[in-house]
Structure 1
Amino acid sequence: MPNTRTIVKKVNGFFLLIGELSHFAKKFFVEMWKPPYEFKELLHQCYNVGNRSLPLVGITGFIIGLVLTLQTRPTLQEFGAVSWMPAMVGISIVREIGPVIIALTCAGRIASGIGAELGSMRVTEQIDAMEVSGTNPFKFLVVTRIMATTLMLPVLVIFGDVLALYGSFLIENMKGNVSFLLYFNQVFDALDFSDLLPAIIKTFFFGFAIGLVGCFKGYYCARGTVGVGAAANTAVVLASMLIFVLDFIAVLISDIFYEL
């Protein structure tokens, strides 16, 4: 059993981490509006974050649709409610499963990549060299990456949701001989604007959290190769935890609005 001193030390470390991360986020919002604006680097990072994540996100989304339909269909058959399958899968994927699982997948790829990249730059003193030469490394390295993840994650989630629904359709087509038009008509009939809007909005926050944590851990990486590995590892863990916390807050707010 850990003693009281160890528990207090861990609690203090947790709150210290929250404070440092909040200060880092504040610095991002301050630097984001200051010229010069690194549009070229932003586009480059959008390509790295978005285009290079498409295969992983596409495969993940497609398998989500296949597995969810295969696992749910036998249960609905027992109750004679197979006709509800497109509506149920559509609402589940668009509202919750698609955004969260794809965000977690991106956290594993993007947050670790950013943490390792900036960490290696810190260890090899490239960031220090940028500061000495008069360049603002925070503006060039951090702001562009956080903005890229914030902008690209909603696009990746929409792409993954579409492939997830298509994977679900394939199972329904093979098992129940459901046509493409009938399946997607039932999906879109079940979805409302109030389902789409909160799901899209929270993906911006997911992307911001992934970029913020990855940049924070990499930018303040400890010296040595061990520090780079620790930065990449802790970036994934912390980003995943933040995604769950943000998702809980988003669902809580959405539930309040539904009741109103």
Structure 2
Amino acid sequence: MGAILLDPLAALGRGVIAACHAVGNLGLFALEATSHLLRPPFYGRLFWRAFVEIAWFSLPVVALTAVFTGMVLALQSYTGFARFNAQSAIASVVVISLVRELGPVLAALMVAGRIGASFAAEIGTMRVTDQIDALTTLSTNPMKYLVAPRILAAVIALPLLVLVADVIGVMGGWLIGTQKLGFVSAAYLKSTFDYLEADDVVSGLVKAAVFGFVIALMGTWCGYNSKGGAQGVGGATTKAVVASSILILALDYVLTEIFFAQ
């Protein structure tokens, strides 16, 4: 009877220990990957390939997400603010919401679904087919060759993507504001720039860089530690996307608290 009562506690304890073990391994993996960014050699071709994959090929989905987000935000803001005769605040709400929060978070979630899964699948396939062991045999450090260039590319590319997303999202809000809601274009743009501050833009770009690091880290880590053949690669891909998405949302709150808490 006592053993039956203790079984749930034992399972909980095993789960906590496994979680702590995973967090520790991830921390060591992140430290090792970061250290390789500061030491030669540097694989420029691999960095550029990852950068183009993230920045250029992710641009269409990020741009579409941003423009429709700006449009919906303008419409919803108008619906709510019209009840209080505060329609003049729509432009400022759209730009601040996009630059501070929605731009970085939505762009990061889109990139996590696309790039995080790609990194995990590619590196996971190399792991289960022993290509990573072959790199070690050829005196090539897998962390420096496979992980470091991808992390650096993501940290640089995601802020650029977010900057473009911010502009396109504001354009979407401006389009709805002027063509559907009856705003004067010059007045809408003036309100947009009057309320936008440099701290808003900087905070969004810093968030984007952190999110880029998280996406690349989780994608490469899940792929690097995958096992069990094709099924293991599929599981690593799913794990990379889910973990990246959760960490993005959690870190968004933490960074917002750091930047804007009074």
Once the two structures are TM-superposed, the CA of residue 14 in structure 1 deviates from its matched residue by 1.4
CA contact (8 A) 2:103 2:204 kept: no
Match of 1:191 in 2: 196
Alignment coverage as a number of residue pairs: 257
Residue 176 of structure 1 deviates from its aligned partner by 2.8
SS at structure 2 position matched to 1:52: coil
Return the alpha-carbon distance in structure 1 between the equivalents of residues 166 and 9 of structure 2: 47
Indicate the residue corresponding to 2:73 in structure 1. 68
1:67-94 Cα deviation digits (max 9, x unpaired): 1112221111111111110011111111
Shift in Å at residue 251 of structure 1? 1.0
Q: TM-score, normalised by structure 1?
A: 0.95
Q: Distance in 2 between matches of 1:183 and 1:51?
A: 30
Question: Are 2:42 and 1:57 equivalent residues in the alignment?
Answer: no
SS at match of 2:58: helix
Q: Which runs of 5+ in 2 are unaligned?
A: none
Partner of 2:118: 113
- Is 1:216 matched up with 2:228? no
| SS of the residue 1:203 aligns to | helix
Distance 2:41 2:198 in 1: 38
Equivalence for 2:146: 141
Whole-Å Cα distance in 1 between the matches of residues 80 and 252 of structure 2?
A: 27
Asked whether 1:94 is paired with 2:95, we answer no
For 2:248 and 2:126, the matched residues in 1 are separated by: 26
Matched residue, 1:80: 85
CA RMSD of aligned residues (A): 1.5
Q: Does 1:11 align with 2:32?
A: no
The residue correspondences of 1:151-230 to structure 2 (distance < 5 A) are 151-230=156-235
Matched residue type, 1:92: S
